[in-house]
Structure 1
Amino acid sequence: MGFWSLFEVASMPMLQVLIITILGALMATNYLNLLPVDARKSLNKIVFIVFTPALMFASLAETVTLQDIISWWFMPVNIGLTFVFGGILGWIVVKLLKPEQYLEGLIISTCSSGNLGNILLILVPAICREDGSPFGDDHDACAAIGLSYSSFSMALGAIYIWTYTYQVMRSSALKCKALKATEEVKLPNKDFDANENTHLLEREDQEHVAIVMPSTKSTEDEAENRTIVHQVSTSKLEKPNASFWDKLKEFLRQILDAILEPPTLGSIVGFIFGATPWLRNLIIGDTAPLRVIQDSVKLLGDGTIPCITLILGGNLVGLRKAKIKPLIIVAVICVRYMILPLIGIGIFKAASNLGFLPSDPLYHFILMIQFTLPPAMSIGTMVQLFNVGQDECSVLFLWTYLVASIAVTVWSTAFMWILS
């Protein structure tokens, strides 16, 4: 397959994202006014609670079996390493460039969390169907197994994103909200320990929505800020000399909270149905007695990617208000498209030499391309939910997806050359 053929195939997913993003931006303008701020927030909640869990469940239950989970055991490790190395590099970027505090979680998240879902779902089957593909002459078989790999990657990525990335974004948002509330109510104690009190805020789960989704009315803002600071100042749930068991219980509680988030829960239930034959046969297949459930859930899941992309485009109307240094954009692009792909090649070579990988070259290609993808679209949902850095997120996504059309093509060519 020639370079320009590969370039066309690899560019299609990113161009689709950009076209729908532009449509979302037009819908959010004052002229059309179809996606105002309140509408985007409401749509985000629907994506978070309904669409994304449906997409995770439908994809996993249909394409991934227990045998697949066992034989593809290295893929969750590989995806975990993309988050680990990306998170470390993002942390280094934050420490070196010292951005505004409310951008720290966004920068770390965009460096660590790749688009492990819709890009692969479009890219991999398309490459399989090209003449001269290095993954075999049976294009249909290649596309089918590629779809299974991509769906498994998407589900695993969702679990990591809605646990690790969600907690990074949530902690950053809570910290910024606490500091802002402290300044606005003008506490007399100027030595107020923001870091410690922000950590206390994380235990106030019932107040989470009130903190990250503030009212638009100034009087309600003031009352809310005073409530936040009062809780921070008087809370005694966390002490510096807390016992090991108390810390362990708090850690386990945070893990349970992450598991119970709708997208993660949808992925887990999808794994269970896909890995259990009798449950799978209930909803999957033309003769399944409850196939209408799978069809309905899949119909809901199909709305996830368009809605997320439209919301991302709607946030572009605030680009002029975005306060992000060009150097930060360059740093994120370098991390995602220069450093991480090289790390991915090294990890693939090491795992291959140790005999951890099956012989399928398409599986090897998936492992390497997971290090080369643009930031996860779900980050846009999170910044909207937490009401922190929406404009800056749109700027980062605009540039990273523009560069992705070239970077993903170049690295895809390099990966196939390595595998040939």
Structure 2
Amino acid sequence: MLTALSVSFLAVLRIVLICLAGTWLVRRGIIDRAFCRSLSRLILHLMLPCLLIAKLSASAEWSNLVRWALLPISALLYVAFGFGVGALVVWVTRPPPSLRRLVTAASAFGNSGYIPYPLVTALAATAPWLAGDPGAGDRGVAYISVYLLCMSPCLWGIGYPYLAHQPLRALRREHFLSPPIIAALIGVGLGVVPWLHGLFVAPGAPLRVLIDAAGVIGEGVIPCALLVLGANLSETPADSGDLPVRAYLGLACGRLLLMPALGVVYVLALRRWGLLPSDPMFALVLLVESAVPAATNLMVMCQVHGRNETAMAWVLVVNNLLAIATLSLWGGVFLWLLSRLA
């Protein structure tokens, strides 16, 4: 257990150090908010799509699609679990009525991409029982990408109108067909369609150089995304908003403690029912996705709606600071659990 905790701590520490570099760059005036916005757009429209195409095209096969179907289903179930946890947090902490949806949404939607990507790859690279599996990290990235095929539409299709008290028809098409989702579908298509696989993906394929170039571009996603996250979290709001301290703490307990506990129960139930694939990286991704802090895109939604920006900013600051400890702890628990189940 101590070995699992130390491996998890070092993996989380790697993420924290990169985020701190982003904070330092902002505090020294080397980068500013405009640069972070531009870098975020670069990640969204180029770097992340390239990563998804490169990883999914190499991993997707027809035989995998049935097993992978559990990932988007799990994303939908996690959102449902999160809404239940959010309702419990609201009932216990009694935030102002105008902020109850904010608390519920922050419980339901986690940072399902930019934290799981580096954390899962770091755990795969350092866990002793995965030392003989060099492809574990790439499979983890592929699983996270498929998970996001459902989580991203849920975030924008449910979270966006929920925070704005708007009907679903207020959404625009780009909220569902974002560049990463389109890229993930392309990557799956390149992997499972034989003639496309032979043209782009197979060793010696005529257009293999395009996939290789996409892989090189995609390698920059994780450090750049963590730098942006650290830069955004460095700008602490001057006031605490209208949300009481008990609500911030209750939300952190719900998102960072109760949700991972539900994730463990869920994964154990899948294994008991014979629904969990044998690849330990599959279970690790499901477990990590349950333990991440609130989604940073919720702040974008609050800014678009012009309401509760300060409260949401503090929710993200508190969640991410406490997640340093909780992710280290839960990561160790996850690795220990999977080593026992292996």
TM over 0.5: yes
Please tell me whether residue 351 in structure 1 is matched to residue 270 in structure 2.
yes
Alignment deviations for residues 262-298 of structure 1 (CA, whole Å, 9 cap, x no partner): 1111111111112223212322244121122112222
Aligned to 1:157: 147
Counterpart of 2:33 (choices 32, 37, 41) is: 37
Contact 2:83 2:104 in 1 (8 A): no
**Residue correspondence of structure 1 range 394-405 to structure 2 within 5 A:** 394-405=316-327
Aligned to 1:250: none
- Residue correspondences, number: 333
Alignment deviations for residues 134-162 of structure 1 (CA, whole Å, 9 cap, x no partner): x6xxx43x342x33541232112322332
TM-aligned CA deviation for residue 343 of structure 1: 2.1
Larger radius of gyration: 1
Aligned to 1:328: 247
Please tell me whether residue 93 in structure 1 is matched to residue 89 in structure 2.
yes
Q: Distance in 2 between matches of 1:361 and 1:302?
A: 23
Contact 2:53 2:183 in 1 (8 A): yes
Unaligned ranges ≥5, structure 1: 176-194, 206-255
Q: Distance in 2 between matches of 1:43 and 1:383?
A: 20
Q: Distance in 2 between matches of 1:299 and 1:99?
A: 48
Aligned to 1:108: 105
Alignment deviations for residues 152-208 of structure 1 (CA, whole Å, 9 cap, x no partner): 3211232233211133453356x3xxxxxxxxxxxxxxxxxxx4xx449826x4xxx
Aligned to 1:407: 329
Contact 1:121 1:150 in 2 (8 A): yes
The residue identity in structure 2 corresponding to 1:65 is E
Please tell me whether residue 273 in structure 1 is matched to residue 190 in structure 2.
yes
The residue identity in structure 2 corresponding to 1:155 is S
Give the aligned CA root-mean-square deviation in angstroms: 3.3
Aligned to 1:170: 160
Please tell me whether residue 306 in structure 1 is matched to residue 223 in structure 2.
yes
Aligned to 1:181: none
The residue identity in structure 2 corresponding to 1:292 is V
**Residue correspondence of structure 1 range 5-404 to structure 2 within 5 A:** 5-29=3-27, 32-94=28-90, 96-98=93-95, 101=98, 104-105=101-102, 108-109=105-106, 111-113=108-110, 114=112, 115-127=115-127, 130=128, 133=129, 139-140=131-132, 142-144=133-135, 146-171=136-161, 175=164, 195=165, 198-199=166-167, 202=170, 205=172, 257-321=174-238, 323=240, 325-360=244-279, 363-375=282-294, 388=309, 391-392=313-314, 394-404=316-326
Q: Distance in 2 between matches of 1:125 and 1:361?
A: 13
Q: Distance in 2 between matches of 1:103 and 1:296?
A: 46
Q: Distance in 1 between matches of 2:83 and 2:99?
A: 17
Contact 1:125 1:147 in 2 (8 A): yes
TM-score normalised over the length of structure 1: 0.68
